[in-house]
Amino acid sequence: MEEAPDPRRWKALAVLGIAYLMVVLDVSIVNVALPSIQRDLAFAPEDLQWVVSGYALTFGGFLLLGGRMGDLLGRRRLFMIGLALFAAFSLLAGFATSDTMLIVARILQGAAAAILAPSVFSIVTVTFAEGAERNKALGILGAIAGSGAAIGVLLGGVLTEYAGWEWIFYVNAPIGAIALALVPRVVRESRADGLARSFDAGGAVVITASLMMLVYALTQANNNGWGSATVGLLAGSGVLLAAFVAIEMRQASPLVPMGFFRKRTPTGANIIGLGLGTMVFGMFYLLSLYMQDVLGYSALEAGLGYLAVALTAILASGVAQGLVTRLGVKPVLAAGMVLLGVGLLLFTQIAVDGTYAVHLLPGFLLVGVGLGFSFVPVSIAALAGVTPREAGLASGLINTSQQIGGALGVAILTTVATTRFEGLVAGGRDPAAAATDGYSLAFWVGVGFAAASLAATLLLLRRRELETVPAGAAPVG
């Protein structure tokens, strides 16, 4: 006899969606507040990027572990633990009185998000029956992910302008408390049966430490130079990466089974996702500084300025879904990469006396369409040719790649921009002009990532694998 559907399932989705929106917002909501945070907490230019990348690294590094822990220990339980920790660490971030305190809080926030986010999708998958209802529920979560960027930049601008940057973090506490109180009433507990009773915490810690060491080496290279200290950090990161591979090959229940990477199209999709995160995170980070530090925009004006790209991305995502059905994944994704590359190319032409209509809006519109045309097909490609049993791993892995790519992108583009800026200022250049030149050079690097991602799209994705995507599978972040 078929089990009756949970009568509280739509109420559960509402609570889960609110909590998931907090996690999505915490990437974009920070961007417009960065100049205010830098002034108040006396951040060095090379350290400010940790406000973004610290969160992204632990979110990406522990995402797969968080999903597996939920499957084994109880999805509702892990969701509630993650939600409580996320709210608590958000308060810690708001109370930060130094750059170090804020960075630590953001790192902890990312780890909490990695516990919370996978459980949202897992709970929805087991709460709604496969078919139209589940697809509708997953579509609502997808819409939250898409609209989160638009809501985040606008809300970040409003809160920073009228209440102070601290409130971009404080706002999570009451929302989290309300959601936490409602979860036991509307969400049923569930676990995955038949899984090995173990999870690879060691692998998650080692890969996250490797990535953090890599980002730290890149951001400190401007101070330390490319001498023995920087080379030592890079070598240490490489050693930890090798240790991660060794751990995964010996683990009975590895975080990332190495055999998964024999699948060419999902592997290619993760390489593309890494490049996509690199471009997008780095672009938003640098343009937030350019709009406020060079053009003199307020936080609210910068937030409103971003709406062009955020809303265009939402509309383009809907168009992309139809085009993928008609034309296939590969052509749409290739078009998205071209549009992103051209948008970034336009941003290389920013000027000290630039205007929104001339120097920002055209690039924002192209990037918005490019994002819509990229995120939809790359998510599909990440699931191509995998078995239903591997769908959860594949979904988590593409989100991990995007988050890690974002952290690396912010680090790389910031290092390029800061090195250029300090060199020009030392030569007597006006700081605003030097900063603009630095951002412009960094955007050229972004164009290079777009070209590399386009090449990966054309060379690595296989049409026959793209025709097999597990039903009901969905990304987790």
Note whether 237 and 271 are same-domain residues: no
Q: Is residue 85 part of a domain?
A: yes
Closest by CA position to 336, among listed 318, 320, 355:
320
Per-residue pLDDT band at 400 (split at 50, 70, 90): confident
Average pLDDT over residues 137-159: 76
Average pLDDT over residues 443-448: 97
User: Which pLDDT does position 472 carry in this prediction?
Assistant: 46
Note whether 44 and 183 are same-domain residues: yes
More confident residue, 306 or 133: 306
Structural domain harbouring 26: 8-188
User: Which pLDDT does position 439 carry in this prediction?
Assistant: 97
User: Which pLDDT does position 477 carry in this prediction?
Assistant: 47
Per-residue pLDDT at 193 exceeds 70: no
Note whether 150 and 287 are same-domain residues: no
User: Model's pTM, two decimal places?
Assistant: 0.86
Distances (CA, A) of 184 to 57, 76, 80, 180: 30, 8, 9, 8
More confident residue, 88 or 212: 88
Note whether 291 and 222 are same-domain residues: no
Give the rounded percent of residues in the chain with a pLDDT score beyond 70: 89
Q: Is residue 1 part of a domain?
A: no
Average pLDDT over residues 341-365: 97
Q: Is residue 113 part of a domain?
A: yes
Domain boundary residue among 210, 235, 254? Answer: 254
Note whether 279 and 212 are same-domain residues: no
Per-residue pLDDT band at 392 (split at 50, 70, 90): low
Domain count, the chain: 3
More confident residue, 470 or 64: 64
Per-residue pLDDT at 211 exceeds 80: yes
The dihedrals phi and psi of 197, each to the nearest 5 degrees, come to -80, 60
Note whether 211 and 78 are same-domain residues: no
User: Which pLDDT does position 229 carry in this prediction?
Assistant: 73
Note whether 347 and 476 are same-domain residues: yes
Least confident of 177-186, 382-391, 406-415: 382-391
Q: Could you read off the pLDDT of 166-187 as tens digits, one per residue?
A: 999 999 999 999 999 999 998 8
Q: Is residue 194 part of a domain?
A: no
CB-CB neighbours of 200 under 10 Å: 21
Per-residue pLDDT at 146 exceeds 70: no
Average pLDDT over residues 135-145: 71
User: Which pLDDT does position 467 carry in this prediction?
Assistant: 61
Domain boundary residue among 188, 219, 235? Answer: 188
Q: Is residue 2 part of a domain?
A: no
Note whether 292 and 345 are same-domain residues: yes
Q: Is residue 421 part of a domain?
A: yes
Average pLDDT over residues 70-96: 91
Per-residue pLDDT at 474 exceeds 60: no
Note whether 295 and 339 are same-domain residues: yes
Average pLDDT over residues 72-97: 92
Residue with tokens 């988050």: 403
Residue with tokens 């199209």: 265
Q: Is residue 3 part of a domain?
A: no
Q: Is residue 195 part of a domain?
A: no
